[in-house]
């Protein structure tokens, strides 16, 4: 059977290994597994969200309220935007998918930093688009601007903070960059980890209302998967001009967010105390990761997220380390596939992090580099 | 901003009005609303599924097991297929979406019956494909075959039983039709309501394992949204040859089914007693709808689903009736948009159906046609 020729060359996203897989492959008891691979909130989700879902479990037979009025009202209040500026997706991933299908056709191109969220180029490839990458481990906005002028891409992706490295551009630099981009180029600003960045350093905080007021060509992305602790429920959103949102809406399948996902996100949004506690604890624990790295001669990248990247050049091989940790039930992300000899570790709870440090210390000593 | 030109003409699916909307628009107490518009299972979902979700509510922070091993194993056992023949989607809708993106490019066409599930042509239009329709209220396989020879579509859709009319082709006729279609044309057999059809009449029952063994160009669709009572959780599946499934998989976004949706579907699949009770009650209640129709001179279509279509020519206007019912808090689906002066009513619980009959009787008498 003949298929769309773009399919043949598509790469599939490699997610963090689920606990179920490690149980099956290595016969490790699920309670002994420490998953620090998918940037999930180690505190779980808001109890209010879990309670709301328990109380609504009998409503799973009902199709979702496809107007999403309750959740949209909550998000509009939080960000000071109109509902016509908002679209909710099955994770912010789905908003990226809509945007690619909306803008990429007939030999289109996207522009992104070399090492950034993998889904940008996966969705672009599904649309048959070319991918232009600005080299470097961090977003190099000057290089991106030069490539923009040269290639005239239809979409530019800025990931702030950046996944999988954890670093973050300053708001003023992002705004100055967008200022120079023509209004027919869609600039997607992915703020999946913005709650962490804003907590750590106000210079990194983005205000979606301000962004879309200043720039008609910006689409801001946010998610409930990280700070709100709802990664499993697939709720994200896009904020942009009426024109952009209206176009993306045409590509939204009905009922794209489940009944219980809507209920969970509504409750999670109201429990800001849970988010604040999660953020504070994340950076408290992250200090331990920096201390450990310094003590063992591991270079790190300043992180504005709930994960930290250990650069292992001169220390060990990232694939070796990630595999050895996995055999002990500790799941981290090897970044070799991104072209980095590095591992990305989600900041876990205190005891989870201690287990990582113990195992990692032994591995480094055994590998004989120290 | 310029967008993909196909977007401009896209129509958006009009879902059944959610209860929340009727509460807001008409100020009716939610407990007084009877929703018979979206073919939801009036018995809700399996208690085992609801309990499983309550017990797992605290796991919403975990990304789903993207291998979906547990659910896939259950489905493979149920249907006697290999996991390489199975793809799970956010509703069977998403499998339709994958199939359209996989097959429809560069001036492609789909072929469908005139009055059938609206999403086929919506996804086709997103891919810029043309839509060929075989005329008639039921699937006319001879006409479809002629149109197939004439237009050489990339995809043919067969909805069995058909939504929104409720009628169903016989298995033997479907198989004889597919037999005559060349192997590069994808034949999608949508079995969203198959549990109902198989319960009512074995001649209508389709066996996906047999279908894909006989036909390498068939993709069978099933769902947890109807008989399994999980419409809000968005879980459906496609069954086809390894070649088809592998291609669709490349278009599947990671984590396309939520953590709690997987858990709910796994539990629901094991509770066949709930499904059997739902099916038996559905057809017991449907007999009342047929009696009511006969008594009031309303023509119906023999239904193999959990809904019934009242053809209102000579009785009243479907939009008038649907609106009048809505004002009383009874939500049914007006089929005017499908070109029919008809309403589609989901078979509800006994008391819900009684409320419909009372209200409908008064409306017919008031409209002076009897």
Q: Which CATH number fits the domain that encloses residue B287?
A: 3.90.1150.10
Predicted pLDDT of residue A23 = 85
Task: State whether A133 and A70 are in the same domain.
Answer: yes
Q: Which of residues 275-314 of B touch A (CB under 8 A)?
A: none
- Nearest-Cα distance to chain B for A6, in Å, is 9
Task: State whether B265 and B358 are in the same domain.
Answer: no
What average pLDDT does range A114-122 have in this prediction? 96
- Out of A237, A271, A305, pick the residue that ends a domain: A271
pLDDT for residue A239 is more than 60? yes
Task: State whether B25 and B108 are in the same domain.
Answer: no
For residue B117, the enclosing domain spans: 47-271
DSSP A36: -
B249-253 contacts: CB < 8 A, separation 24 or more?
Answer: B249/A12, B249/B87, B250/A7, B250/A10, B250/A12, B250/B102, B251/A7, B251/A10, B251/A126, B251/B98, B251/B101, B251/B102, B252/A12, B252/B87, B252/B89, B252/B98, B253/A13, B253/A90, B253/A93, B253/A94, B253/A97, B253/A119
Q: How far apart are CA A257 and CA A193, in angstroms?
A: 21
Chain B interface includes A246 (CB < 8 A):
no
Chain A interface includes B191 (CB < 8 A):
no
Q: What is the CA angle B204-B208-B211, rounded to 5? A: 85
Predicted pLDDT of residue B368 = 57
Q: Best mutation site among A4, A49, A61 for testing chain B: the one with the most B CBs within 10 Å?
A: A61
pLDDT for residue B370 is more than 50? no
pLDDT for residue A13 is more than 80? no
A29 three-class SS: coil
Task: State whether A159 and A308 are in the same domain.
Answer: no
Task: State whether A321 and A343 are in the same domain.
Answer: yes
Total number of domains constituting chain A: 2
Predicted pLDDT of residue B297 = 95
Task: State whether A299 and A172 are in the same domain.
Answer: no
Closest CB to B4: pick one of A90, A101, A256. A101
Q: What percent of chain A has pLDDT over 70?
A: 99
Predicted pLDDT of residue A2 = 93
- Nearest-Cα distance to chain B for A302, in Å, is 25
Model confidence at A368, in pLDDT bands (50, 70, 90)? Answer: low
pLDDT for residue B274 is more than 90? yes
Q: How far apart are CA B160 and CA B189, in angstroms?
A: 7
Q: Best mutation site among A31, A62, A252, A262 for testing chain B: the one with the most B CBs within 10 Å?
A: A62
Across chain B, mean pLDDT equals: 95
- Out of B248, B271, B294, pick the residue that ends a domain: B271
Q: For B203-234, how does the pLDDT look when each residue is reduced to its tens digit (9 = 90+)?
A: 999 999 999 999 999 999 999 999 999 999 99
pLDDT for residue A369 is more than 60? no
Q: How far is CA B132 from CA A126, A127, B126, B147, B155, in A?
A: 26, 24, 15, 8, 10
Closest CB to B231: pick one of A15, A61, A183. A61
- Out of B238, B271, B304, pick the residue that ends a domain: B271
Closest to B141 (Cα-Cα) out of B186, B175, B183: B175
- Nearest-Cα distance to chain B for A347, in Å, is 14
Chain A residue at shortest CA distance from B95? A253
Q: Which of residues 55-84 of A touch B (CB under 8 A)?
A: 57-67, 69-70
Task: State whether B235 and B287 are in the same domain.
Answer: no
What average pLDDT does range A330-337 have in this prediction? 95
Task: State whether A150 and A260 are in the same domain.
Answer: yes
pLDDT for residue A14 is more than 80? no
Q: Which one is predicted more confidently, B368 or B21?
A: B21
Task: State whether A33 and A66 are in the same domain.
Answer: no
């Amino acid at each position: 059977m003949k298929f769309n020729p773009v399919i043949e060359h598509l790469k599939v996203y490699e997610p963090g290994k689920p606990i179920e897989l490690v149980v099956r492959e290595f016969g490790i008891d699920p309670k002994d597994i420490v998953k620090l691979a998918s940037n999930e909130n180690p505190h779980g989700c808001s109890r209010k969200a879990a309670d709301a879902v328990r109380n609504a479990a009998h409503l799973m037979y009902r199709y979702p309220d496809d107007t999403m009025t309750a959740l949209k009202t909550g998000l509009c209040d939080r960000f000071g935007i109109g509902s016509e500026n908002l679209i909710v997706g099955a994770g912010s991933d789905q908003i990226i998918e809509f945007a690619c299908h909306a803008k990429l056709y007939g030999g289109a191109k996207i522009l992104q930093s070399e090492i950034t969220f993998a889904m940008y180029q996966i969705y672009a490839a599904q649309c048959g688009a070319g991918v232009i990458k600005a080299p470097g481990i961090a977003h190099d906005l000057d290089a991106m601007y030069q490539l923009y002028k040269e290639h005239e891409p239809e979409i530019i992706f800025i990931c702030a903070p950046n996944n999988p490295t954890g670093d973050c551009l300053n708001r003023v630099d992002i705004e100055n960059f967008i200022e120079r981009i023509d209004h027919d180029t869609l600039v997607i600003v992915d703020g999946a980890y913005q709650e962490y960045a804003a907590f750590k350093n106000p210079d990194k905080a983005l205000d979606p209302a301000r962004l879309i007021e200043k720039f008609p060509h910006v689409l801001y992305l946010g998610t409930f998967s990280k700070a709100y602790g709802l990664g499993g429920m697939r709720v994200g959103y896009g904020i942009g001009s009426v024109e952009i949102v209206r176009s993306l809406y045409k590509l939204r399948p009905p009922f794209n967010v489940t009944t219980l996902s809507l209920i969970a996100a509504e409750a999670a949004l109201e429990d800001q105390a849970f988010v604040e506690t999660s953020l504070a604890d994340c950076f408290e624990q992250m200090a331990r990761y920096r201390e450990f790295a310094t003590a063992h001669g591991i270079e790190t990248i300043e992180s504005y997220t709930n994960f930290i990247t250990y650069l292992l050049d001169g220390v060990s091989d990232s694939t070796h380390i990630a595999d050895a940790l996995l055999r002990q039930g500790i799941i981290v992300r090897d970044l070799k596939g991104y072209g980095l000899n590095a591992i990305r570790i989600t900041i876990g709870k205190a005891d989870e992090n201690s287990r990582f440090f113990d195992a990692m210390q032994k591995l480094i000593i055994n590998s004989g580099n120290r």
